[in-house]
Amino acid sequence: MIKYSVNLLFLNQQRKVPGLIFHEMHLKDKNEPKEQLYSNKRMGQFAKSNPFYIVLLFAALSIFLFIYMFGANDATILLKLLVFSLGVLGFTFVEYAFHRFLYHSGEDFKKEGNWQYLIHGVHHNYPNVKQILAMPILLALGIAAVFFGIFYLIMGIWCFYFFPGFILGYAVYIFIHILIHTQPTPNNFFRYLWKHHHLHHYRYEDKAFGVSSHLWDVVFRTMPPKDNDKKTPRN
């Protein structure tokens, strides 16, 4: 049902954005490569997950926590919503920082045997395999729990307004990531997200680290050059 709805969303909205022609052709390939993603079969089983489940889980958890704790203090609705929004913004920064400084760290993040390969390098090698568009659910929940603990130590009860925004930001990020790698570039406002991320994959691996937003690419000057109207080769 979800897959069908997504396809309807992009029906008749395909557009060949300059610099993305290769990706539009690559979408026609099968999602599963002929070779194994990991030489270790158990590792491959752990690393794969249904990204839509993660979107639904974290979105539901965000809504539940925010509603459940809404009356925990006497702050105004506006202030609570502001803290929630700061949580979403905070996630976009963590998304950028993790992508740039962790996932792309090391000599060769795309070489199997390096820890970066397990969580990100494999995605660069096989960008349209749906099962690796998000980290495993258990790993995602574990990392979320660590962030919750950090936020609670810093913010106290305000964590229950900030954290729901933070994990909703994660759910939105995964949803956008799914669409970018499974759907043609849409002919609407959101096409800039496709172009930005595909330039990262197929032309500038050291730039364009933001997926749900390129705000921090602007702030930290990692935006790709503007001379990107040529066909984008696969790295």
- Has residue 20 been placed in a domain? yes
Residue of higher predicted confidence among 8 and 56: 56
Q: What is the pLDDT of residue 47?
A: 53
Domain-located, residue 61: yes
24-30 CB contacts, 8 Å cutoff, 24+ apart: 24/184, 24/185, 26/127, 26/128, 26/234, 27/128, 27/182, 27/183, 27/184, 29/128
Question: Considering the domain boundaries, does residue 228 fall inside one?
Answer: no
* In the predicted structure, residue 40 carries a pLDDT above the cut 60: no
Residue 226 included in any domain: no
Predicted confidence (pLDDT) at residue 43 exceeds the cutoff of 60: no
What is the tens place of the pLDDT at every residue in 169-218?
A: 999 999 999 999 999 999 888 899 999 999 999 999 899 999 999 999 99
For all residues of the chain together, what is the average pLDDT? 79
Predicted confidence at residue 28, as pLDDT, reads: 44
Within a domain: 179: yes
Question: Is the model's pLDDT at 89 over the cut of 60?
Answer: yes
Q: Does 3 reside within a domain?
A: no
Residue 44 lies in a domain: yes
Please give the residue range of the domain that contains residue 131.
Answer: 15-27+40-219
- Cα distances (angstroms) measured from residue 193 to each of 108, 179, 205, 209: 26, 10, 16, 11
Per residue in 147-165, pLDDT (tens digit) is 999 999 999 999 999 999 9
> How many domains does one find in the chain?
1
Is residue 177 assigned to a domain? yes
